Amino acid sequence: MPSVEVRPFRRDDRDQLTALVNAHVGAVLPGVSVSVNAVLRQLEREPGEAIVDPWVVERRALVAVRREAVVAGALVLRYAADARVSDSYRDSGEIRWLVCRPDAGEAGDALLAAALETTAAWGVRVTHSDPALPAIAVYGVPDCWPHVAALYERHGFVPRGHTEVVLVVLVADLARRAAPPFDRLDVRRSVGDCGTRFTAVRGGRELGFVEVESDLSEGGVRSRLAGWSDVGNLWTDEPHRRRGVATWLLGAAADWLRLGGVERLVAYAKPGDDAERAFYARAGFRELTRTRRGWVREVG
């Protein structure tokens, strides 16, 4: 069996590592890939993680090489131990992500062992992993990455977070905005916390809203995500649920997305929330993958 070398990432590894990242992205999202620059930027810092990223005090990118080919890669982080960091992150190490060729299990084992040696040398109290590659909806350990799940489990990680269902629909297949489900109901468009917000208002009272982020390419940095969007938030006031408000709002958002040439809309649901999943199914969404989050290494 060819020997495996685990070493720090070098800049001349960038193309091979990006190809490996994109193999994992492509198993979740059809036709999507990320650029070399997107991968390199995440190795340095993550501006989109405005809360968590400032807590990081050390980053280490590692690769496993076999016959001069990069067959596995990982990004390892150390979080500060001071009071500004939340309890769950304080003085912890994180496998920010790990990618590995399915036929290179021994390289993945060697890489993950080296990552754990790194966090042990840092002296952190716990090592956890909630992977997130630099692409929409590619987070946790999706069920289309069984080789990564097996690798984590061999090294003592267990998923302590929740499982999420990632859904997608062609925007062209979404129903258009129809007449409101009851009288004196208006929709207002505004800036939301997670995209453009469409709010159902009646008599000055908000009955529900949906937020959609319509440009996930970050101004062209992630060009293959042009045409993709996602549901950032969806909420309906309890007394008005199952009365058509959410469906009506989704139609208003879909009309807006079509106007901008957006082709696909991604949404997220919990497996046990039957009402949420039924709503998305009626709207035409289908399941892309299920992903397990919050992996923690149990020792002793």
Averaged pLDDT for residues 97-120? 96
In whole angstroms, what is the distance from residue 188 CA to residue 237 CA? 16
pTM equals: 0.92
Task: List, in order, residues 6 or more apart from 174 with CB less than 8 Å away.
Answer: 250, 251, 254, 265, 283, 284
Predicted pLDDT at 59: 97
Domain 169-289, CATH homologous superfamily name and number: Gcn5-related N-acetyltransferase (GNAT) (3.40.630.30)
User: Which tokens in the block code for residue 278?
Assistant: 């039924």
DSSP H or E run through 11 = none
Averaged pLDDT for residues 228-236? 93
Predicted pLDDT at 300: 46
Residues carrying CATH 3.40.630.30, the chain = 4-155, 169-289
72 pLDDT exceeds 80? yes
pLDDT class for 70, splitting at 50, 70, 90? very high
Q: Are 190 and 200 within 8 A, CB to CB?
A: no
Predicted pLDDT at 223: 64
Percent of the residues in the chain that have a pLDDT greater than 90, as a whole number: 81
Top-level class of domain 4-155: alpha beta
In whole angstroms, what is the distance from residue 237 CA to residue 240 CA? 5
Predicted pLDDT at 5: 96
In whole angstroms, what is the distance from residue 51 CA to residue 91 CA? 16
124 pLDDT exceeds 80? yes
Averaged pLDDT for residues 259-281? 93
